[in-house]
Amino acid sequence: MINFIGIRIELLNFMDTHPSRIMLETRILSVTPDNIQALVELSLELWPDAEAAEERDFWIKTLASGSGAAFLCETAPGHYAGFATVSLRTDPLEGISSQPAGYLEGIYVVEACRRLGIGKMLLAAVEDWCRQKGCREMGSDTELQNRDSQFFHAHSGFEEANRIVCYRKTLQ
């Protein structure tokens, strides 16, 4: 015979740690001075060579100017699972025929929270921001070896516009 109270307790304990619980409490927030440190910390996970102070200064200026936006995924008060950053671009972009265009500068979801729809929620916030700025198109890029990002872009409605290899040369 099954003890329904025992099953309920086991289910609650399971739900406390199960990733699907994260989705019950998830909110997408615009980055503000109050939560900018979370953006900086997460961005250093995506771009480990970046400097925290430079990232913070860049985003303070960018957000104040209105030329870009950043969004955080909050899974519980003060706990963040990812971010997305976007800029408003008027320079020529691969595959983009209209200006201004939104440009997805970065999107990142912590590994434990991937494949739960957080990236899509962040991208939806970016797309809404772009529409509000009068954009009809968005661009983005990723490195050739970043297959996870390529998969995300392809499954999020982006079309591949070009592939390039960049070179450098030290001048003597």
**Residue 166's pLDDT is what?**
83
pLDDT higher than threshold 50 for residue 165: yes
Hey, what are 144's tokens?
């050739």
More confident residue, 20 or 169: 169
pLDDT band with cut points at 50, 70 and 90 for residue 21: low
CB of 25 within 8 A of CB of 75?
A: yes
Domain CATH code at residue 40? 3.40.630.30
- pTM of the prediction? 0.83
Q: Cα(144)–Cα(2) distance, rounded to whole angstroms?
A: 54
Q: Cα(3)–Cα(129) distance, rounded to whole angstroms?
A: 50
**Residue 25's pLDDT is what?**
79
Domain that residue 116 falls in: 22-155
Is residue 168 in some structural domain?
no
Is residue 39 in some structural domain?
yes
Is residue 115 in some structural domain?
yes
**Residue 57's pLDDT is what?**
96
**Residue 22's pLDDT is what?**
54
Is residue 14 in some structural domain?
no
Is residue 33 in some structural domain?
yes
What total number of domains does the chain contain? 1
Average pLDDT, the chain: 88
**Residue 42's pLDDT is what?**
98
Is residue 113 in some structural domain?
yes
Task: Decide: residue 149, CB within 10 A, 0-12 exposed, 13-18 middle, 19+ buried.
Answer: middle
Matching residue, tokens 């929270």: 113
- pLDDT tens digits for 141-155? 999 999 999 999 999
Is residue 171 in some structural domain?
no
Is residue 17 in some structural domain?
no
